[in-house]
DNA sequence: CGCGGCTTTGACAGCTGTCAAACAGAGTGG
DNA sequence: CCACTCTGTTTGACAGCTGTCAAAGCCGCG
């Protein structure tokens, strides 16, 4: 029973069920654990990683660098999530994975996972599905950043983060950790930090949400979801 | 040897290699062929399809409807491409798939593909990879729509469509079909048709690209790619 | 010729970006 | 305990890209 395998098993079970033998096979996965200091990268564009990453604590983010030093964040990953599962079957990274705060990550060798995939169809199905859910999230972010005005986009982002935290068992009541700077989130939403800050103030004034010292508190989820036209359907969560 | 299987085989080979037995298994896939008139949907939000779609001719597009009737296009699919391969392992559609022009599509039953996936690991690998490449394209569209000014976004879109058409063997020299209205493309880029039109005129004046009566002609690809900061890396094409 | 769909153009409002500077809070060292 | 520094947040002023609303032009087709 590897620590990493247990984390991955719990994560996969958010998206569907597996029979006990498959669960056991996933649970048996294990690998190296490593500290990843804030702003350090775990994977870089062009890398051909030989392990799959699991977030144990902290917050990771995936990004690409634009031509003029502009950074676009594609996604955030909280504890228990598995970014870049896709490295299993894609030749090389076309983006970067880094730590937004001091984090601890686990590295499960591809070889071990290939064996599970070959021998346990239900585990394979959930692994595959996890990568598809990632794609669904990218689609939703595309819609959000392309169509929603800043205040709705911010509300949408908060809703998603909270729902994901709750699914991962990381929320407490109506709040969860969100240890990011405004700049990070602004780069995920495709807006300027300045504009993000201004718009956040407006949202705060609605008393639906608060975000300070790394903690997100959603006192009126329904109102916030209404502002964002948020529907958690795309997350394909079972719980 | 199914017609649909052959199309799918050729598409998968754009992303990697398979040994002959796997190729044969894919080639043997087949199913119903159906006409899909312009603006009609093949799949709708909430559907639980039992077949995988292959585009035989025409142009499909995937989209979601926003709250105020706003439509966001997630992607376009030209002949030989396979949209929504993801339906194999995801519970229900969280978006719609429709025809941008009169099209012909093939429907391969999930059951047939599951058998290939179970018995032919290399075919499975390419199928999986195809879904991952889709995700990579979503990421790139996210970056494009979030960061690039309209003229660069349009140039980027043209570059991608041309490269994909060439990979599919659908280009002739420096041109390919692109039978879409300006409105469709504008909705993919997350800008207004009016603004799209205005900005397109500017691009046209650079003499790098032309687009009329459904045909895209790129007379100076390098210049266009420069404007867009386009790098085809994310398409993960072998050829 | 008239109709319908698409493209093109105009005028104007407004959301968002840019550049700068002030402000706040945590950690450091004197 | 108080400067001091550093990072991140907050505000201000202003430019400009993009959206909105309308109307005109273009083209294929019955």
Closest CA to A74 of A57, A95, A93, A104: A95
* Nucleic acid strand D within 7 Å of A18 CB: no
B191 Cα to chain A: minimum distance (Å)? 8
Reduced DSSP (H G I as helix, E B as strand, rest coil) percent helix, strand, coil of chain A, to 5: 45, 25, 30
Dihedral class, residue A124 (left if φ above 0, else alpha if ψ from -120 to 50, else beta) = alpha
Question: Measured from the CB, is B188 under 7 Å from any atom of strand D?
Answer: no
The whole-number pLDDT of residue B157 equals 98
Average pLDDT, integer, range A58-81: 93
Residue A69 confidence class, pLDDT cut points 50, 70, 90: confident
Other C-beta atoms closer than 10 Å to the C-beta of A33 total 14
- CATH for A3-138, among 1.10.1740.10, 2.60.120.10, 2.60.40.420, 3.30.930.10? 2.60.120.10
Considering CB atoms only, which of B66, B139, B229 is closest to A138? B139
Chain B contact for A134, CB < 8 A?
yes
Q: What residues does each domain of chain A span? A: 3-138, 149-235
Interface of B with A in 141-200 (CB under 8 A): 141-143, 145-147, 189-190
- Tell me, yes or no, if A236 comes closer than 8 A to chain B by beta carbon: yes
| B162 pLDDT tier (thresholds 50, 70, 90) | very high
Q: Which of B94, B125, B139 sits opposite A89 (nearest CB)?
A: B125
Residue B210 Cβ under 7 A from any strand C atom: no
Within 10 angstroms of residue A185's Cβ, the number of other Cβ atoms is 24
The mean pLDDT of chain A is 96
Q: Which residues of B touch A95 (CB under 8 A)?
A: 139
Helices and strands in chain B: count of H runs, count of E runs: 8, 9
From the Cβ of B190, is strand D under 7 Å away?
A: yes
Q: Where are the alpha helices (DSSP H) in A56-120?
A: 110-119
Cα dihedral B48, B115, B107, B7, rounded to 10, equals: 140
| pLDDT given at position B70 | 85
Closest CA to A167 of A133, A124, A127, A212: A133
Can you give the pLDDT at residue A80? Answer: 97
The answer, yes or no, to whether residue A146 has pLDDT greater than 90, is: yes
What pLDDT digit, counting tens, does each position of A178-211 carry?
999 999 999 999 999 999 999 999 999 999 999 9
**pLDDT-based confidence at residue A2 (cuts at 50, 70, 90):** confident
The pLDDT value recorded for residue A169 is 97
Q: State what percent of residues in chain A have pLDDT above 90.
A: 96
Answer for the pair A1, A102: CB distance below 8 angstroms, yes or no: no
Instruction: Give the closest-approach CA distance of A68 to chain B in angstroms.
Output: 10
Proximity of residue B201 CB to strand C below 7 A: yes
Task: Check whether B69 has a pLDDT greater than 90.
Answer: no
Q: Where are the alpha helices (DSSP H) in A13-109?
A: 20-27
Binned at pLDDT 50, 70 and 90, residue B99 comes out as very high
Q: How many CB atoms lie within 10 A of CB A154?
A: 26
Task: Give the pLDDT score at A87.
Answer: 97
- CA to C1' distance (Å), from B177 to C5: 20
| Fold of the CATH domain B149-235 | Arc Repressor Mutant, subunit A (1.10.10)
CB contact under 8 A, A135 and B131: yes
As a whole-number percent, the residues of chain B with pLDDT over 70 amount to: 100
Q: Where does the pLDDT of residue A58 fall: very low under 50, low under 70, confident under 90, or very high at 90 and above?
A: very high
pLDDT given at position B17: 97
State the Cα angle at B143 between A103 and B150, rounded to 5°. 155
Surface of B (41-100) touching A: CB under 8 A = 64, 66-67, 70, 72, 74, 86, 88-91, 94-95
Residue nearest to nucleotide C20 (CA to C1'): A194
**Interface touch B129/A74, C-beta < 8 Å:** no
Contacts of A128 in chain B (CB under 8 A): 88-89, 128, 131
Q: Tell me phi and psi for residue A45, to 5 degrees.
A: -50, 130
pLDDT for B6-58, tens place per residue? 999 999 999 999 999 999 999 999 999 999 999 999 999 999 999 999 999 99
Which of A83, A116, A138 best tests the B interface by mutation, with the highest count of B CBs <10 A?
Answer: A138
Residue B168 confidence (pLDDT): 97
Helix (H) or strand (E) holding B194, with range, is: helix B193-205
Residue whose token pair is 């970056």: B143
Domains B3-138 and B149-235 share a fold: no
Are B133 and B235 within 8 A, CB to CB?
yes
Tell me: the pLDDT tens digits for A81-102?
Answer: 999 999 999 999 999 999 999 9
User: From B84, which residue of chain A is nearest by alpha-carbon distance?
Assistant: A132
Amino acid B67: pLDDT: 75
Split at pLDDT 50, 70, 90, the class of A112 is very high
Q: Is A174 helix (H, G, I), strand (E, B) or coil?
A: coil
Band (A67; pLDDT cuts 50, 70, 90): confident
Chain B residues closer than 8 Å to A121 by CB? 118
- Say if residues B185 and A110 touch (Cβ distance below 8 Å): no
Nearest C-alpha neighbor of A13 from the set A4, A209, A22, B97: A22
Q: How does pLDDT run across B71-95, given as a tens digit for each residue?
A: 999 999 999 999 999 999 999 999 9
pLDDT value at residue B195: 98
Indicate if the pLDDT at residue A42 is higher than 80: yes
Of B96, B232, B213, nearest in space to B158 by CA? B232
Q: How far does the CA of residue A130 sit from the closest CA of chain B (Å)?
A: 9
Measured between alpha carbons, how far is B30 from B26 in angstroms, rounded to an integer?
A: 9
Q: Which residues of A123-138 are buried (b: 16+ CB within 10 A; e: fewer)?
A: bbbbbbbbbbbbbbbb
C-beta atoms of A90 and B145 within 8 A: no
Q: Tell me the pTM.
A: 0.97
Q: Which nucleotide is nearest to B152 (CA to C1')?
A: D17
């Amino acid at each position: 029973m590897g620590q990493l395998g247990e984390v991955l098993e719990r994560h996969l079970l958010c998206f569907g069920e597996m029979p006990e033998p498959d669960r056991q096979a996933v649970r048996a996965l294990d690998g190296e654990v490593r500290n990843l200091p804030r702003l350090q990268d775990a994977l870089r564009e062009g890398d051909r990683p030989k392990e799959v990453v699991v977030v144990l604590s902290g917050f990771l983010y995936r990004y690409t660098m634009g031509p003029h030093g502009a950074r676009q964040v594609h996604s955030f990953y909280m504890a228990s999530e598995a970014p870049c599962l896709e490295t299993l079957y894609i030749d090389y990274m076309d983006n970067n994975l880094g730590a937004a705060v001091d984090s601890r990550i686990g590295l499960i060798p591809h070889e071990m996972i290939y064996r599970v995939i070959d021998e346990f169809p239900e585990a394979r199905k959930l692994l595959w599905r996890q990568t598809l859910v990632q794609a669904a999230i990218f689609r939703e972010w595309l819609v959000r950043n392309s169509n929603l005005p800043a205040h709705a986009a911010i509300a949408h982002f908060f809703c998603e983060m909270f729902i994901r935290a709750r699914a991962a068992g990381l929320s407490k009541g109506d709040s969860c950790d969100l240890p990011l700077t405004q700049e990070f989130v602004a780069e995920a939403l495709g807006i300027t930090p300045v504009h993000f800050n201004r718009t956040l103030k407006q949202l705060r004034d609605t008393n639906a949400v608060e975000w300070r010292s790394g903690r997100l508190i959603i006192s009126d989820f329904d109102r916030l979801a209404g502002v964002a036209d948020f529907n958690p359907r795309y997350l394909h969560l079972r719980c």
